[in-house]
Structure 1
Amino acid sequence: MQNSDTFPKIESVGLSGLLVQFADNLSEPANRAALAFQAAVASERWAGVEETSSSLTSTYLRFDPLRVAHSVLRAQLSNLLASRDWYAAAPPQGRRFWRIPTVFGGDLAPQLAEAAALAGATEAEAIATLSTARTRVLTLGFAPGQPYLGDLPPSWNIPRQSSLTPKVPVGALVVAVRQFVLFANDTPTGWRHVGQTAFRCFRPDADEPFALSAGDEVQFNPVSAEEYRNILTSDTSGNGGAVMEAIA
């Protein structure tokens, strides 16, 4: 349970939003709490609540103030918060485990050596660590369907770059501050490009445009550049050769 009188706490966000904060810094228990609480709020189907989502350490609610009073919704949230220890709550149901083929290093991911050195590892050691880490989708953000994944081991608490890489391609796997980001589109970044996938996080024409959901787990399995190129040309689904299974 959180050892603080400060968290969890409820904050107002404008006239039609409430934010339940479980910490001011990322930790596994705080992220677990945010995910579990968001799922619980969604299952309550409270009148007037129009949207719920989770961030790294918070749960957000958007509501219609003409349908439910701010004070009423705040009281409902307070009662739900008091009903259990959310920092020890089980992860929400319906999660999935993805294994995504990934090229580490080389011309396709040219900053692996630099990132490995910052983590105190050789390239081979870095690949072994990064490819065996089973990471959680902590939240989606910055771009449609784009996941932040973690936590990586403490040695991977490496800083962002002091300047931006002008562009990395869609499917790029980047690393910093003990997290991965898997890019949903071509974009500049201050994180180091260590892997490349053919996976598409955002599929605007699909029934479910966001391939990953907060709480899903992901492992990035190493493949050769040739295997990657074969996947890129043969898999038109956007899955990039990924294998998915349900988590009980």
Structure 2
Amino acid sequence: MAFSTIKDSITFHPLGDAAIVIQAGADIREDIHERVKQLFSCIEQHPFDGYVEAVQAFTNVTVFYEPYTVYQSAQLQQRDMSPYEWVKDYIEKLLEDKWQEGIQSNRRTVDIPVCYGGELGPDLEEVACINDLTPEEVVRIHTAGTYLVYMIGFAPGFPFLGGLSEKIAAPRRETPRMSIPKGSVGIAGKQTGVYPISTPGGWQLIGQTPLPLFRPDDESPSLLKAGDEVRFVQMSEKEFFSMKEAER
């Protein structure tokens, strides 16, 4: 899709004095996600003096920058412009010129093994009850889906996954847990996700994976990134503990 056809739907606004938010839409949809990835890719490939980083979210990209570096580099004292105005102008022109460079259409698919129910998935029966299903049916539906990683956030490496079947959607718990085990697979509303580290949380826990999603010593600490696809594969409790021991 040419940038000219979506230009009017992209808006900009400042976030403090050192960041700009580029809004690509209002809804959590796959086409908006693709637009966000395009924005992110374009900016990452063509940074400016003073650029710090770009962060993807569901419907926007936030670009962080060093105001004083931008001010000096762009000689703004001679242009009567603020760093924000210059960065906004730069990004607008960049998108006009480079939008077609785009991102690669091929998506990486990551299989995540999960042991469902029991102590590893204490809310599986609750999710089944909410949806008038058996626990086995919840597992079957959950493993049948392919899920899109919309963003990484909340905790290091935590993937917010879209594509959950409405048949197994469930509200967050009324009382969040103070500590959720690393690797727990949960459901909240129409989303599913995996807790990469132990943290408080209110998602309904249906299982657990022994696969580390956050590896702080690696060059790329997060196993998943926005744009990946995830498939959940059921494993036995014996396989779970065997793999967990091997990961240690």
Return the TM-score normalized by structure 2.
0.83
The separation in 2 between residues aligned to 1:152 and 1:164, in whole angstroms, is 21
* Deviation of 1:143 (Å): 1.2
Deviations 1:164-222 (A, max 9, x none): 12322000001112211211211221110011001222212222222221111111100
Per the alignment, do residues 39 and 200 of structure 1 end up closer, same or farther by CA in structure 2, a change over 3 Å counting? Answer: same
In 2, are the aligned partners of 1:17 and 1:60 still within 8 Å (CA)? yes
Equivalent residue, structure 1, for 2:90: 76
Q: Which moved more, 1:225-234 or 1:20-29?
A: 20-29
In 1, are the aligned partners of 2:9 and 2:24 still within 8 Å (CA)? yes
The separation in 2 between residues aligned to 1:109 and 1:186, in whole angstroms, is 15
| Displacement over 6 Å in runs of 4+ | 3-6, 83-86
Per the alignment, do residues 110 and 99 of structure 1 end up closer, same or farther by CA in structure 2, a change over 3 Å counting? Answer: same
Return the TM-score normalized by structure 1.
0.83
* Root mean square deviation of aligned Cα: 2.6
Letter in 2 for 1:198: P
- Residue 47 in structure 1 maps to residue 49 in structure 2: yes
1:1-248 aligned within 5 A: 7-68=9-70, 69-81=83-95, 92=104, 95-236=107-248
* Deviation of 1:80 (Å): 4.5
Q: Which moved more, 1:19-28 or 1:35-44?
A: 19-28
Residues paired across the two proteins, number = 233
In 2, are the aligned partners of 1:146 and 1:184 still within 8 Å (CA)? yes
In 2, are the aligned partners of 1:39 and 1:92 still within 8 Å (CA)? no
Equivalent residue, structure 2, for 1:246: none
Q: Which moved more, 1:70-79 or 1:101-110?
A: 70-79
The separation in 2 between residues aligned to 1:30 and 1:80, in whole angstroms, is 19
Instruction: Name stretches of at least 5 consecutive residues in structure 1 with no aligned partner.
Output: 237-248
The separation in 2 between residues aligned to 1:66 and 1:4, in whole angstroms, is 32
Larger radius of gyration: 2
Q: Sequence identity, in percent? A: 26
Q: Which moved more, 1:217-226 or 1:112-121?
A: 112-121
The separation in 1 between residues aligned to 2:218 and 2:7, in whole angstroms, is 44
* Deviation of 1:51 (Å): 0.4
